[in-house]
Amino acid sequence: MELTNAQRARVLVQALPYIQKYNNKIVVVKYGGNAMTDEKLKKSVMKDIVLMWLIGIKVVLVHGGGPEITEMLDKLGKETQFVDGLRVTDKETADVVQMVLSGKINKGLVNLIESKGGKAMGICGTDGHMIEAKQMDERLGYVGEITKVNTQPISDLLEKGYIPVVSSVGCDNDGNIYNINADTAAAKIAGMLGAESLISMTNISGILKDKDDPKSLIPKLTTKEAAKLMEEGIIAGGMIPKVECCVNAINWGVRKVFVIDGTIKHSILIETLTDEGIGTMFVK
């Protein structure tokens, strides 16, 4: 449906308070899921990020890339194993993780942002020892638990007017490379930067009271309410670690955390620049 000029003007006027509110503030976007594998959606998301950057929001993009890592391992004839939902990462797999995340995906996103008129710089957790980690569990091999985050490289890029694109790879002082969960990395980075908000793009519409009823979306949750829903089993399974990351981000200093459906076109803009919003917002 084509908008009239008057309708376009109304949309811009309604967005003005949000543009003012977020101007010069840091927003961390955790990017993954179907929004990352669908090429049309990927272009749409990058366009939205460039728009946010152009209106004065300091956007930091943190990404994973599980499906593409699996695809590359399959091409190399290497079987993928999971323990408790986490990829078992031996030395060879860690090299593949670094190659896919910090190379193919990271530079592809930078190129896409630049093609949409933005100014981006790709970095990974090993650059400037940005994400330091230790082994999480011997059974998992080189899957890392974050021990320290140095946000100086990100701050430097923001100061120079770039959109930092961060791949979730970590390292230790012995030169080992670790596969880092992107949700955890984004939450920690957002907390250390004192971000205004963290937007977590997922394949679901947000937190539901009833997982089988899309209309049961909970638009707003406090960290206490989220903990209660986990105790009651309403938040369960694969959503638990995601919600824990949201709660941790708030506790680490992020003002608001949004869980949104990244498969909906312009979901970032709807959540950030409109009255209605689209997903679930976590607050202190």
CA nearest neighbour of 78 among 54, 99, 48: 99
- Mean pLDDT, to the nearest integer, of 251-262? 92
Q: What is the per-residue pLDDT across 135-180, written as a single tens digit (0 to 9) for each?
A: 999 999 999 999 999 999 999 999 999 999 999 999 999 999 999 9
Res 1: pLDDT: 56
Q: Does the active-site annotation cover 125?
A: no
Active-site residue identified among 64, 65, 66, 279 = 66
Active-site residue identified among 183, 188, 206, 262 = 183
**Ordered structural domains, the chain, with CATH:** 24-283 (3.40.1160.10)
Res 278: pLDDT: 84
Res 121: pLDDT: 97
To the nearest whole percent, how much of the chain has pLDDT over 70? Answer: 99
SS (H, E, C) the chain: CCCCHHHHHHHHHHHHHHHHHHCCCEEEEEECCHHHHCHHHHHHHHHHHHHHHHCCCEEEEEECCHHHHHHHHHHCCCCCCEECCEECECHHHHHHHHHHHHHHHHHHHHHHHHHCCCCEEEEECCHHHCEEEEECCHHHECEEEEEEECCHHHHHHHHCCCEEEEECEEECCCCCEEECCHHHHHHHHHHHHCCCEEEEEECCCCCECCCCCHHHECCEEEHHHHHHHHHCCCCCCCHHHHHHHHHHHHHCCCCEEEEEECCCCCHHHHHHHCCCCCCEEEEC
- What pTM was computed for the model? 0.93
- When mean pLDDT is compared across 24-33, 83-92, 163-172, the lowest value belongs to 83-92
Distance CA 156, CA 238 (A): 35
Q: Does the active-site annotation cover 265?
A: no
> Dihedral angle at the C-alpha atoms of 144, 106, 148, 126, nearest 10 degrees?
90
Q: Does the active-site annotation cover 30?
A: yes
Active-site residue identified among 32, 33, 118, 122 = 33
Res 207: pLDDT: 86
Active-site residue identified among 116, 188, 242, 256 = 242
To the nearest whole percent, how much of the chain has pLDDT over 90? Answer: 63
Query: Does 194 score more than 80 pLDDT?
Result: yes
Q: Does the active-site annotation cover 122?
A: no
Active-site residue identified among 30, 42, 116, 256 = 30
Q: What is the per-residue pLDDT across 48-86, written as a single tens digit (0 to 9) for each?
A: 999 999 999 999 999 988 888 889 999 999 888 888 778
Q: Does the active-site annotation cover 107?
A: no
Q: What is the per-residue pLDDT across 202-225, written as a single tens digit (0 to 9) for each?
A: 888 888 888 778 788 899 999 999
